[in-house]
Chain A
Amino acid sequence: MADVKKPKILGILCNWCSYAGADLAGSARTQYPPDVRVVRVMCTGRVDPLFIMKAFTDGADGVLVSGCHFGDCHYLEGNYKSAKRMFLMKSLLKGIGMEDKRLRMTFVSASEGAKWAKVIEDVVNTINELGPSPLKEMTK
């Protein structure tokens, strides 16, 4: 068994809402679990399904994609398109026998620092409950 206490979780954040919200949690010194590593993109619309699959085949235990609330996207509708793709990816994960909860999409605005901390706690708890990714075991 891999070390369950240290899950590997990738967070892909949009620049305008969720990344700013995460920064706000920092300025407010809101403490949250340290298990998510962040890659910044301009918009969640940029999140290629390839990135998700790459992360899981590389051994990620979970992937968090976080963008603006619907109607708030800096690029009008990138988050809608991303959300659609994430639904598709979730069913794909199920199709290959993985728990679709390992992929999560959330919507955190630039003013929701406290919510960001809650989201991270929630994601980390979920992944800890699920344990290491089965894909990780297979690719070993």
Chain B
Amino acid sequence: MTVLGPRTGSEAVALYEKNPQAIPLAGGTDLMVAWNRGTLNHKTILDLSAVREWRAIAKTETGVLIGSLLPLSELQKDPVIFEKFPLLVQAASIVGAWQIQNRATLAGNIANASPAGDTFPPLVVYEAVVHTVSPHGPRSIPVREVFAGVKKTTLGPGELIASIELPFLKQNPDRQLFRKVGGRAAMTISKTAAAGLLWLKPDGAVKELRFALGSMAPTVRRLRAAEKFVKGKKLTPEIVSEALELLKKDVSPIDDWRSTIEYRLRVSQNLLEAFLLGHVPQR
């Protein structure tokens, strides 16, 4: 095994260009599983852990830039992220366990593109933007467009994630929700995971709904049909039950050894229903 150890972002890009087969290593929480299974033998690893410039958090007028290599445990401690993006903090706090959160990074999570990535539903409802660098220059991609399928991204050859930008919400949501449903209380892969933001008009009609589900399709999904349907409407039981039907349009859950289609769908609907009817306690 060959390990390349760049110390700056530009060094990383240059080394990656020269070694296009190299596998980038961020926190290593997924990569080390492959290492233990011996599937990385004879491979080249691009170890990014010494690239300090990608571990910082920067605040701008319009949002927060999270360095791609910032460990999830650090992310949770940032007061601005904690205040403005609580769903992401909640998601980060239930990834694996503390030991994993000390290593795992947002960028590693994104680049790994698991259908069950815990941080994705919040990133998608916050409409995060992924900033990348490559020999062809920098690029900014809406987070949902990064995911191309199970463990597949739209990142090009030689392209590395430098930061993730979370734009501030124009207005605080009236309701918000994050809920991961896994096999047990910790160290578990989700069966479904939901993130929701809801803004209401003074008359109680929906101004905007953003709702995303993880583990319910090859990639994280926004519930476009349901979001569009409830816009401008009051959330009566009839409207909510129609929205629950529309949920199915944007997801394609599967039966596997972690759960069943029936369970995943029903629980996702339960979460959306409770959220829309205001039955989820707000902090």
Q: Do A and B bind each other?
A: no
Q: Which residues of A contact B (CB under 8 A)?
A: none
